[in-house]
Amino acid sequence: MDFDYSPKVAALREQLLAFMGEHVYPNEERFWDEVDEGDRWEPPALLGELKKKAQAEGLWNLFLPKTYGEFSPGLTNLEYAPLAEIMGRVTWASEVFNCSAPDTGNMEVLARYGSPEQQATWLAPLLRGEIRSAFAMTEPDVASSDATNIETSIVRDGDAYVINGRKWWTSGACGNHAKILIVMGKSDPGNESRYRQQSMILVPMDTPGVTVLRPMRVFGYDDAPEGHAEVMFEDVRVPAANLLLGEGRGFEIAQGRLGPGRIHHCMRLIGVAQRALETMCMRAESRVAFGKPLSKQQSVREDIALSACEIEQARLLTFKAADRMDRGGNKAAKDLIAMIKIVAPALACRVLDRAIQVHGGAGVSQDFFLARAYAHSRTLRLADGPDQVHMMQLGRNLSAVLGATTDA
């Protein structure tokens, strides 16, 4: 494994750092001001301005690995990792470069599993950044960490499918710019295989019967302008051609979608943690308590040192998982992806908590990014599967492999 930056990545990294320094950090508060002052579910004007600049500079759709051919800018997962880390330092920055969830996962689904017609209708405008999308899987009435539990029905009726059910934590669905949903439901609940009962289908947001009931709040934040919606589907009828890949293939698509999505979250979380560490150090050097800078306090030094160690460990694990995906595919990297999904969100929460503590009351205020970043990072211990599911599956896999060895 070689984790040195290639000349291409080094150049992109410098370009991205310059863009963030010139356009993103100086406008961080302007973004939230525009959200608060206007229609919360309308993209701020700032976002449109910056997206045009990023696209003009070629900092666009960097997430799609080169295995996607014509849709990809030509990077590997490993090459993308340090770039995603930089984007992750500001909560909303990824969208500037058309690299934000849930669109990234949805674009990968359409690029990998979509028909030419589905790609022309939905993938093309998503790649151009003209629309956004949402992903509807989790349900309030069942433990959706086990995807076989979902109850939303997808029933064939002539040349259409009819969808009924209720979803929540449907990220992106509150935004006025969200035009398409990918919905997971059961099309064959009687199938003997629990993993062949589900299908995924494309549902335009303006389809009759689709109702956004409310935005869900995360520790009080509504995460506008995208949000996380509770959505009702009542006799929603869409053409049969909207089905992705085929009946009974939903679980397969979910596994293909969530692998890259999980590691993308982790890449960005390393950026969050790194920025929190830097902020903690600046505060420790500038703040005086009990007659000396906080950086002279032993406990603060220990927090800084431990945070740096943990961030570097997580960064290297992220790189290793990305490298394995490039070399052997997502399935070959599944254990490493599970490891980093367990590690990175918890790491970010720990580092943010230490940074908040060093900032005192200011750390939980709106004057610093720390509180919002903590809420986001804590949520990612649940998104794309809670820690316990990843630990359960990873433990099962490792026990089977390591338990079968004869050397001790």
Res 67 pLDDT > 70? yes
* Helix, strand, coil distribution of the chain in percent, nearest 5: 55, 15, 30
Res 22 pLDDT > 80? yes
Evaluate the CA torsion angle 327, 328, 329, 331 in order and state its sign. Answer: negative
Q: Characterise 258 by phi-psi region: left (phi > 0), alpha (psi -120 to 50), beta (else).
A: alpha
Report residue 370 CA to chain centroid gap.
Answer: 18
Contact 197, 148 (CB under 8 A): yes
Q: Where in the chain is the domain with CATH 1.20.140.10?
A: 251-402
Q: Which numeric CATH code is attached to 251-402? A: 1.20.140.10
- Counting residues of the chain whose pLDDT is more than 90, the rounded percentage is 92
The pLDDT value given to residue 53: 98
Contact 376, 100 (CB under 8 A): no
Mean pLDDT, rounded, for 338-361: 98
Mean pLDDT of the chain: 96
- Architecture in CATH for domain 132-246: Beta Barrel (2.40)
Contact 319, 282 (CB under 8 A): no
CA distance 81 to 83: 5
Beta strands in 217-279 (DSSP E): 228-239
Q: Where in the chain is the domain with CATH 1.10.540.10?
A: 7-127
Tokens standing for residue 238: 């869409």
**Quick one: pLDDT band at residue 406, thresholds 50, 70, 90?**
low
Mean pLDDT, rounded, for 325-352: 95
- In tens, the pLDDT along 151-202 reads 999 999 999 999 999 999 999 999 999 999 999 999 999 999 999 999 999 9
Q: What are phi and psi of 78, to 5 degrees?
A: -65, -40
Q: Which numeric CATH code is attached to 7-127? A: 1.10.540.10
Tokens standing for residue 385: 């599967």
Tokens standing for residue 376: 């986001």
288, β-bridge pairs? 293
- In tens, the pLDDT along 260-306 reads 888 999 999 999 999 999 999 999 999 999 999 999 999 999 999 99
- In tens, the pLDDT along 116-153 reads 999 999 999 999 999 999 999 999 999 988 888 999 99
242 CB-near residues (< 8 Å, 6+ apart): 118, 161, 201, 202, 203
134, β-bridge pairs? 181
Tokens standing for residue 135: 């992903």
- In tens, the pLDDT along 376-389 reads 999 999 998 899 99
